[in-house]
Structure 1
Amino acid sequence: MAEPEVKTESVGTVVVAGAANLAIAVAKLVAGLISGSAAMLSEAAHSLADTTTEVLLYLALRRGARPADTRHPFGYGKESYVWAFLAALFTFVAGAGFAITHGVTTILVHEHSGEYLVAYVVLAVSFAIESVSLARAVRQVRGESRRWGTTPRRYLRLTADTTVKAVFLEDSAALIGLLIAAGGLTLSHLTGDELYDGIASILIGVLLLVVAAVLARSNISLLVGRSVSDRLHRRIERELAAVPTVDRVDTLMTMFLGPDDILVAAKVDFRDDATGADIEAAADEAERRLTGHFPEIAYVFLDPTRSRSPGRTARTTQDEAGRPVDDRNP
């Protein structure tokens, strides 16, 4: 098996997002100090958190792409989820914590000093830069969704490439946060009441909490050992069942070992007249079929099993709602 390589497009998306966020963070910080806006300072914390997140996501891509060795025979793909989870935690603690705390302080103190104009200019420039970063992430999401034959929304929900998901969600949240900051700043400017600026800061913090929670949940699921989607599961099962020597697929289990590595393990009932050589040839054909259709499948393990007796049932698993699911059924 070839050594895994860092996904170039994902690296490019992360680097572009990181560079944009760093430049924006500095501009927002300066604008926040000059204008005295709580929402603007919260946006600076937001961009700084996003910059740190991109650094962690870059580490996730690099560390997760290391080849397998004797101590880690399935590779280091899952390490990428560890770094991505740490990125989500940083967004939760640093970005959201600062924004909410500073917003509450602004509401309580109720003071403002500084000029508004520089804040408006920085918000406009930041929106333009964030839009460029988001456009690249959207382009990658659309390309990947076409490759998998699904919709962009479904791809984002089910993808194991959490770096792309993180950049897309963070850039989307950044644009929404800028609009919230602009709204709070404008209302405070027009009314002279800093309440609106403080509320905007709190809303930005809540937005970051939502993004962090979504990303943390996704990475935890992948660290635990998430299977492929039901749709892909059925396609894999059909490919295995189409092998001439295979009579029935009793049990099929899958797991993401990394963003681009899938493990497939199945209990397979071969025809009664199949010889050992027939079973070996069928196993080779099954692997060729699966890897040909799905390059992300890195490992295929087939366990020959006897025909099921009337009193014997296939192993069942549970869906996320706790309902039993028979692996033979779609």
Structure 2
Amino acid sequence: MTQNALNQLKSLTTIVADSSDLTAIETFRPLDATTNPSLITAAANQPENKELIESAFDQAKKEGYVSDELIERTIDILTVKFGVEILKLVEGRVSTEVDAALSYDTEATIAKAKELLALYAQYGIDQNRILIKIASTWEGIQAAKALESKGIHCNLTLLFGLHQAQACAEANVTLISPFVGRILDWYKKAENVEYYPIDKDPGVLSVKQIYHYYKQHNIQTEIMGASFRSVDQVLGLAGCDLLTVSPNLLAELEKDQRTVEVQLSTDHAHAHGHHDIQPLNKQNFKDAVEKDLMSFQLLQGGIDSFIKAREQLSTLLRQSFGIDAEIKP
């Protein structure tokens, strides 16, 4: 009997659940899981997570936080609590994101990462099971470099091009998450194109370029394709180190009976032309991002959307605990 596409894919690539939905994670049993502010906010709106939210708020109050800091601390505790619950369901790691508002502040990102890890330690979670998720700005990458030097593993997210991937490799980060679907969305709008075949899909091609560069130069940083719009995009990167996939696409893959073919491998990478790239510094990194309109817009847009999601969660918590009057003078 032919295996479904999901099972075939699992034999080629580590599959990660892109979700904070504990039920979905329990259903698909991926090795790892990733979260982001949007996913945490969505999960916080689910009635079954009310107890988790209340316990996070109570803990923040017991720690002596008040006013705006009470809500911010509650969000951090809640984010970690979701991570702890996820780790009960997966054998591997969970990615936990630093507040996107800190994306251009290296020292603040480092401090927040350590705060999150200290919270995980309170729940008895080994830091090797945590990936600190940071936006791929120059400042974020430098924060990750400092954290990695201390043995703290990082996942660099909102990554849209080779220049960001190169900077992450030079920083020796554990893992990068190049976004596939958001790149496709941008090109469809910019070029007024309704459909790209997978062999011409800009998001898929971007990840392939990064994969080839990493394998050609024996870079140890793991590549985890993210932000997929279709099962075809997912299967278009079969063989990538990891792929983080939403529950709805995991369900589609489970029903799909097609034969999955390897699209990425080290041998395949070496068969392609080598990329000769100069070392990066802050200025030429920022120049490269600004010259690439797609990368520039999506990086800032992604940061803004994650900030907005955190603000929505803040509003939800204020309303839930009736403390607007306490916080806002």
Q: Which has the higher contact order (CA 8 A, sep 6+)?
A: 2
Q: Normalized against structure 1, the TM-score is what?
A: 0.25
